[in-house]
Structure 1
Amino acid sequence: MNAERRALVIVLDGVGCGEAPDTAAYGDLGSDTLGNVARVAGGMETPNLQRLGIANATVVPGLPPVEHPIGGHGVMLPRSAGKDSTTGHWEIAGLHLAAPFPTYPQGFPPAVIEAFAKATGRGVVANSVASGTAVIADYAEEQRRTGAWIVYTSADSVFQVAAHEDWIPLEELYRACEIARAQLVAPHDVSRVIARPFVGERGQWRRTPNRRDFSIAPPGETLLDVLQHAGIPRHGIGKVDDLFAGRGIAAQHTTDNAEGIQAIQSWLETAPRGFCFANLVDFDQLFGHRNDVPGFRGALEAFDRALPSLLAALKEDDLLFITADHGNDPTTPSTDHARERVPLLVAGARVRGGSLGVRDTFSDLGASVAHWFGLDWRGRGTSFLPELLHA
């Protein structure tokens, strides 16, 4: 076991890079988040991702491949059923799902809503498939008047509860979401219950950074369990702990990508050893779901500008992996996640730049992390370290 090493996985939430073999089955033909953003935006200024090999791994309009990329580069195909953050992160960590989490295109059944209302002592309004900003605009005044929860869902497997922070205390909102999480068991075992607090007045409602996700617990062993059993420290940044129901990892919650990148930099500069699992959510939450192409491009360029500092902080026995959990193409009519393959970039002093090809599953990344720490892997995936490292 090589317990003194470090590994960092950065998930660019929603930054897929093209169709997977089964994209048509999900209704997402034509989705290519990274490529379409670059095409519609007229190119991107991402020279550091380019140096690592992003354009060698996948076609990025306006960004040519480089002759000698410094990173390992490839793409990974999704094998778990579904296209949500929980499924994607679980697959990275070696756990596959045979069936997708349930979704509710007509809203939740009356029995589900009635049980939630009874247990929380408040009524429910909306119960529809809706944009988070639109549903708040439509129902905020009714919440002010009645004290009812605003409950809604999307094309993803989520039970979302919105509440104005001045009318319903945050702790009550979080407690209500915990109640919903406990109630939502099979066949209504949604992937996540999400607290969506907001503030403001009519015409100026805005969601706050106090969102919290309450995920269903992983049904099997994950990379985080393996690392925990081996005594290797694990640190999360962003919503990672929520996606694993707090099992095997605690996380520093961040308000945006900038704070997340700052937290990553701090971990690199201070952590003596261990594993860091970071999620940068702005790509998905702020830009993909809102079909905001300029915003998406700007977030990618901001991450690229931060890369040199992160790379400079890597020690000799560090590996940095950059990937995604699904797509969320802001150029398509849909505002929801897309079934896409995801990029794979790997950097470190011991990395031999070159192609890692098309990986059969996201789980190859988790298997490689376990291999890096010298651990036996009992999950899905095949390590690509032999293809990646100098002898």
Structure 2
Amino acid sequence: MSNDRRTFLRQLLIGGASVTALAACGGQGGSDGGDDLPNDPPKGSPGTDAPPVASEGVTKTESLSFIAIGDMGTGNIGQYHVAEAMRQIIEAQGCDFVLGAGDNIYEDGVTSVDDNGFLESFEYPYQNLDVPFYMCLGNHDCASTIFGGGSDNQRGDYQVDYHYSDKKYSTKWRMPARFYKESFGQLAQEKPFLDLFVVDSNPLTSFYTDHDERFNWQNYGYPQQLWMKESVKESRAHWKIAMSHVPYLSNGKHGNAGNLDEGMRQIFTNPDADGQRYKLFLEEAFSDKVDMLVTGHDHSMQWIKPVDSMGPAHILVSGAGGKTDKFQDPERNPTYYQAENELGFVWVHLTEERMLLEFYLVNEETGEFRLGYSREENKPVSIQEFEPA
């Protein structure tokens, strides 16, 4: 992406809060890694084995599979062990793409599109995986300190730039914008099998105030919320999945949105550190509209049961791709399954009517892995509920 185009798009973001002014940070993702404007129409199933779409008699996508993983970018032996376990599951069971739920490059992101962090924390660990990774920004991706407080949001722009770079090591990295929508598969003409909505949670939950006004609530948080609500509303996809880094609900140390990092946030300078506006953002954009919310941030594995405030959506925390944690309060939110102090990832298989989730746990020292939990559920959101009249 040229510097002139990038500057132009970012100036649009600064200029106002309208949906069309958000092309620099949110929009349709270019599916071939090219220099597509974010408002270009979706191009079918980027990086998947789904059949091509015809103008008449559309070839129907029967199923899609993906892996959800977060907080992986350590470059340590544990990340390599998880990558190898993923490779074996992909080989045995199939996988169309990976969802990377943030903290892609520890501890403080990258400082240019040519930063070695892309190699050490992403390209080398996953070099044996031949699937695209759809990435989300985490707090450590937007920080200038090892504490990951999120005080330097501009660093996230370099991860978007890497998507467009003609010098990148592979074509796996997919982050066409800081927040975006991507479509996969097809059920009927103009009806994708799946729409993915990727949120940039960091400016909405940072410990420290970022003095770059491009990332304050007025110029970034609220416009992102407007864009996300409109995109979900307009989506005709059969399945809808949202991904963000900071959890909506979690039994880990960071806790639930609206009360994030309880007992610690009084020492931080950002009034949004507790995530209250972020909580309302997620509810307004996704409640009763998405089937699943995928997050990271807490370094554990959790499948949290649906709650009234988010409707029927199943809530996943998959933040054990490179680090592990203990639960702070394992009873805080009811779960189908949860696991602490072990690395891991979630494999998800979607058909038209059903979803199967399998949680895999990986030994950090030996790389041995096992199936920790498996459960199949009906599609959470009614198929007819959001069809146009």
Q: TM-score, normalised by structure 2?
A: 0.32
Larger Rg: 1
| Higher relative contact order, chain-length normalized (CA < 8 Å, sep 6+) | 1
Structure (1/2) with the larger helix percentage: 1
